[in-house]
Amino acid sequence: MRKILFAAAAGAAAVIAAQPASAQYGMDKKKPAGTPDLPQCAQPLGRVAIKDPDREWWTQYGLSNPESLIKLFASRSNCLRVVDRGAGLAMRNEEAALGSGGDLKRGSNIGKGQVAGADFFIVPDLANSNSNSGGNHIGAVAGAFGRSLGGLGAIAGSISTKKSEAQALITLIDARTTEQLYVAEGTAQKTDISFGAGGGSYGWSGFAAAAGGGYANTDIGKVVTAAYFNAFVDLVHYLQTSAPTGEQASQAAGIQTYKVKQAIVMRKTPSPTAAQVRSFNVGDSVFPTGQKNGIWWEVDDENGNRGWVSSAMISNLN
């Protein structure tokens, strides 16, 4: 009887081991080798605005927008500053409207030119989620030997059946050029949250509970939290090693175009009596170099001619 028991157990293990990794995990993406810790940054790597994906996949799982997870990871790690283009921007615009209407107290200092720009856009999405995938791989084998294996069949089934798994994606986009820079990936399954805290000292359950929106109430919610955590770690690694900094991205995007508001003359030096380089008509484009002398700005024209104009006579296209 003992020989039969061990032979059956070995056969079940062989069936599972013979399956490719993609079949065992339910997706092509390899399972992470280990649980990483949340990275910690001495200085933020840039400002990001979070954009919803085209499909609201989270609703079918009873979860809230994953934006809450990204904001939590960004805040805890100090690696990203999130500029809120949703409720935060709407409330700020309401305050600005009160200010322009004269309703705010003196010194409130809320007005134009104060909203921080995003260096990057990030789009959280889900490539794969299965709340009951892979459950029959071991369960069916154990069930076939249920009577002869006794308790072993129940143990094998309880560990491996109905395992939730998810593959999360975070797409990184240059906010100025709209170029897609990177797609961070993270995978997780139920065993990742069942046998260890994960996520460093805070733990999956802690992150899921802090994010709210149903992420702490179900296994799939916790698994999605873990998958996004792993994707965030991947994203930060890319930002630290390969991505341009916010300042570099700004410089690489090129010089902003300004339009001439009133017919003016370009001068060789910042003086109204300096030699004339050329004249501009209303609507002509100029490109500031960043050099300034009082009201005078150094600019290039479309042909590369360089000189100085009055900044009062040009305006940003934005």
* Two structure tokens written together for 314: 């040009």
Annotate 168-216 with DSSP letters as a single string. Answer: EEEEEEETTT--EEEEEEEEEEHHHHHSS--STTS-HHHHHHHH-TTTT
Checking if the pLDDT of 166 tops 50, the result is: yes
- What is the predicted pLDDT for the residue at 127? 77
Strand duo 314-316 + 276-280: pairing: unpaired
Phi, psi of 307 (to 5 degrees): -175, -165
Closest to 256 measured CA to CA, from 112, 49, 51, 117: 117
Tens digit of each residue's pLDDT (9 = 90 or more) over 263-310 = 999 999 999 999 999 999 999 988 888 889 999 999 998 888 999 999
Would the pLDDT of 67 be above 50? yes
Q: Considering the entire predicted model, what is its pTM? A: 0.61
168 — phi, psi (to 5°)? Answer: -100, 150
CA distance 215 to 219: 8
Domains 2-83+118-249 and 256-316 share a fold: no
Average confidence score pLDDT of the chain: 73
Q: For residue 61, which of 223, 228, 226 has the smallest C-alpha distance? A: 223
CA 51 to chain centre: 9
Domain covering 256-316 assigned CATH 2.30.30.40 in the classification: yes
**Domain 2-83+118-249 adopts which CATH fold?**
Rossmann fold (3.40.50)
**What was the pLDDT predicted at 103?**
87
**Identity of the residue numbered 73:** F
Domain boundaries, the chain: 2-83+118-249, 256-316
Q: Is 3's pLDDT higher than 60?
A: no
